[in-house]
Amino acid sequence: MGVAPSNATGMGDARFFLRAGPHRASAVAKAAGGTIAAGQDDVMLSGVAPLQSAAPQHLSFLDNRRYADALAATHAGAVLVHPDLVHRVPPGCVAIITDAPYLGWARATALFHPAPPPAPGIHPAAVVDATAQIDPTAEIGPFVVIGTHAEIGAGCRIGAGAVIGEGVVLGPHCRIGTHASISHALLGQRVYIYPGARIGQEGFGFATGPTGMVSVPQLGRVLIEDDVEVGANSTIDRGSAQDSVIGMGTRIDNLVQIGHNVRIGKFCVIVAQVGISGSTTLEDFVVVGGQAGIAGHLTIGRKARLAAQSGVMANVPAGAEMAGSPAQPARSFFRQVAALKRLVDGKRPSRIATGEPNHSAQQGRETD
């Protein structure tokens, strides 16, 4: 049985994650969009690690001021840090200064652990229709099924057991996780569909007749723009009379349900277990917290923020912050929660809780 990686290797078990480097601090700073503090050495770095466990060959970062004490005690060789906290960087540790340390960390970590490149070719166990167009640089894994007239762009990676339906188009450098299925969809560049996701299935549409339910044909598509990520086991229904659209750069977490005709704008964040009912529009930069539910035929304005477990039943204006079910302005909701807590905490203990007889209740029963 293998053992966990030692502190010398930092983050990223080599059995699972590609490694690159070492890199000089100057190269790391360039990748992170930062600069090395004046007068400091251009040290060589071989990996990344948290402040608490980093060694002199590692890069680390500080984004949350609550961990400033960990910064002062770190043994990291270099650290990404905001200009306001440079004075807390210990001697011997190179300060890489950036106004956005966490963004710099994301970029620098990708420098040490880049996404593995595709291994071009079609696995012998894959089933690919003769009419499908597969770019020779794409990787098609075992037991993949690719339907008629599908198009797979350059540098795509399709994991084992995935199904790409008839006519589906994947733009360059898409990654499709194992056992995902995609139908009735057109994907842009660098789209990542995580394992088990379902894209393009029929939406939940039916009419009620005298003898029961009659399904309404779902004749739209799913359009996913560039740089979108769709989490594991999430579902995006195709449109009924129009297309379902996921805007550029949007991030969708695991276990999210998106109904037919939904239109999500650019750079939205949809957290796990959210449900969005059909024909609702989310404008650009909307953030939806986990387990929130949004009713159908609504508009959620640009940069609105919906707290976790919100129940949204009406349109939300741009920039609003909403919470509760039914959702209301967050400040109002939390005032109500605080008032209710004060009422409960200040209430006299009930007679039942103290074991005293409840004479008024007995009297009421006698009256009855």
Which residues are the active-site residues?
260
Question: Do the beta carbons of residue 32 and residue 96 sit within 8 Å?
Answer: yes
Q: Are 200 and 220 in contact (CB under 8 A)?
A: no
Question: Which long-range contacts link 263-269 to residues 24+ away (Cβ below 8 Å)?
Answer: 265/302, 266/225
List, edge to edge, every strand of the sheet that includes 133-134: 133-134, 151-152, 169-170, 185-187, 222-224, 244-246, 263-264, 281-282, 299-300
Nearest 5°: CA angle at 238, between 234 and 242?
140
Contact 184, 202 (CB under 8 A): no
The alpha carbons of the chain give a radius of gyration, in whole angstroms, of 27
Degrees, nearest 5: CA angle 69-53-24: 100
